[in-house]
Amino acid sequence: ATKYRPFVAVDLPDRQWPSRRIETPPQWCAVDLRDGNQALIDPMDQERKQRLFDLLVKIGFKQIEVGFPSASQTDFDFVRSLIEEDKVPDDVRIQVLTQARPHLIDRTFEALKGAKNAIVHVYNATDPVFRRVVFNVDKPECIQIAVDATTLIREHMTAAPETHWTFQYSPELFSTTEMDFAVEIVDAVEAAFGATAESPMIVNLPATVECATPNNYADQVEWFCRHIRHRDHLIVSVHPHNDRGTGVAAAELAVMGGADRVEGCLFGNGERTGNVDLVTLAMNLYTQGVHPGLDFSNITPIMREVEYCNQLPVHPRHPYVGDLVFTAFSGSHQDAIKKGMAARREAENDFWEVPYLPIDPLDVGRSYEAVIRVNSQSGKGGISYLLEQEHGIELPRRLSIEFSQVVQEVADRLGKEITSQMIYQAFVDEYLDQH
């Protein structure tokens, strides 16, 4: 049961509406410890990595990309400590990234020795500019690099049957690769690995640099799903970056277009403008009545822990979670919220129908006290709400109008936000005294 009604536009009688909706959550993979980490000014040390890993587990992530062990000694040591100190729950798969180069693949498997569950994620760039300018390879050579890497990875996996392995391939820069070539290379990789419907591989389709409107990416993912030889041998994953600021929309549309899985970071950390923000994605599902399977019911400690690990602040207007998102400064908003809260107390159902607040702050562990703040722009609604809720003083309408003028004068004089304690003090000092 959910208190959020899925949004339906009721006034489009000539349209089937909504055209599509996400009914079940995708698989989630958190890449904070790899893509997120490689974009930090001050990359995480072991302690910060471990704290973020533990947090991701606690939130409910079952697939976590923990590093790039063949490229970084810190990541290698971190993977070893996770395995040797038995820090990975049985139902969590750790994922590691490697380039499609033999010595790096060998080193990756060294890092993973003794793991219970692991995803080996290999990538090579498939986009034409990278083929021509960066690597100087033609299409067949590009396919050969991917196939050779896959064959070597299969050999390593076969040689270590004590680990439950999953294989993942990313055609890096998928969204700027010719689509028929993306299909051709993934078909070749899938055949080389020998994926089956019972034992599928993950194919991850990155928008490494987001450079088109999000519907375009979703169209590419949908086209890919239709044209790939064995769709049922694949778990199709998306990996949107946020260069145009539309990473969340891209991921949502891509899931509607057929993707099964989403890779991203908490609060949108990641290269340049970030990876897609998994908190917003999850909460968007939640407010449409679909439980995301991730627990953000106490968001503030999560946000503070991530700020510590990344050494980066979360924006105060970040959707659902920022410090300012459950505040209303304007009088008309405060008044409408107050009426909505009162109506909710009287209502017989549990639906959330409070104006201006898209969700109940309590659902992310935020308190009602923070909902209404008062400054010189506020009207009587917020002022009497705070007086009533926090100090048990209920003013009749005429007095409430008079008193709000007193508070506004105080706010104007001080030029800053007024706390409920200051409102109470103003009531005692400046109002009661004179009446």
Q: Which residues contact 399 (CB under 8 A, 6 or more apart)?
A: none
Of 2-10, 44-52, 201-209, 330-338: span binding ligand KIV (CB under 6 A): 201-209
Of 200-208, 218-226, 307-315, 348-356: span binding ligand KIV (CB under 6 A): 200-208
The DSSP code for 418 is B
CA–CA distance, 8 with 12 (Å, rounded to integer):
10
Of 31-39, 106-114, 300-308, 376-384: span binding Zn ion (CB under 5 A): 31-39
Which does residue 172 bind out of Zn ion, ligand KIV, none, counting CB within 5 to 8 angstroms by kind?
Answer: ligand KIV
Q: Shortest distance, CB of residue 308 to Zn ion, whole angstroms? A: 23
Q: By CB under 6 A, tell whether 35 contacts ligand KIV.
A: yes
Nearer residue to ligand KIV within complex by CB, 176 or 378? 176
Nearest CA to 294 among 6, 135, 56? Answer: 56
Q: Shortest distance, CB of residue 276 to ligand KIV, whole angstroms? A: 10
The DSSP code for 146 is H
| Cα–chain center distance at 168 | 21
B/e letters for 278-294, b = 16+ CB within 10 Å, e = fewer, are bbbbbbbbbbbebebbb
Of 28-36, 63-71, 106-114, 387-395: span binding Zn ion (CB under 5 A): 28-36
Q: By CB under 6 A, tell whether 239 contacts ligand KIV.
A: yes
CA–CA distance, 39 with 26 (Å, rounded to integer):
25
Q: By CB under 6 A, tell whether 123 contacts ligand KIV.
A: yes
Q: Which of residues 43-62 bind ligand KIV (CB under 6 A)?
A: none
Q: By CB under 6 A, tell whether 206 contacts ligand KIV.
A: yes
Q: By CB under 6 A, tell whether 170 contacts ligand KIV.
A: yes
CA–CA distance, 157 with 164 (Å, rounded to integer):
9
Nearer residue to ligand KIV within complex by CB, 273 or 376? 273
Please tell me whether residue 295 adopts helix, strand or coil conformation. coil
Q: Report CA-CA distances (Å) from 198 to 135, 154, 364.
A: 35, 16, 38
Nearer residue to ligand KIV within complex by CB, 241 or 261? 241
Q: Report CA-CA distances (Å) from 130 to 133, 147, 238.
A: 5, 18, 20
Total of chain residues touching Zn ion, rule CB under 5 A:
1
DSSP states of 240-259: EB-TTS-HHHHHHHHHHTT-
Q: By CB under 6 A, tell whether 208 contacts ligand KIV.
A: yes
Strand pairing report for 234-240 and 261-264: parallel
Q: Shortest distance, CB of residue 206 to Zn ion, whole angstroms? A: 6
Q: Which of residues 241-300 bind Zn ion (CB under 5 A)?
A: none
Nearer residue to Zn ion within complex by CB, 64 or 386? 64
Which does residue 123 bind out of Zn ion, ligand KIV, none, counting CB within 5 to 8 angstroms by kind?
Answer: ligand KIV
Nearer residue to Zn ion within complex by CB, 35 or 127? 35
Q: How many CB atoms lie within 10 A of CB 155?
A: 12
Q: Are 76 and 105 in contact (CB under 8 A)?
A: no
Q: Are 302 and 263 in contact (CB under 8 A)?
A: no
Binding site for ligand KIV (CB under 6 A): 35, 97, 123, 170, 172, 204, 206, 208, 239, 241
Q: Which residues are annotated as a binding site?
A: 35, 239, 241, 275
Binding-site residue positions for Mg(2+): 35, 239, 241, 275
Give me the residues that bind Zn ion (CB under 5 A), please.
35
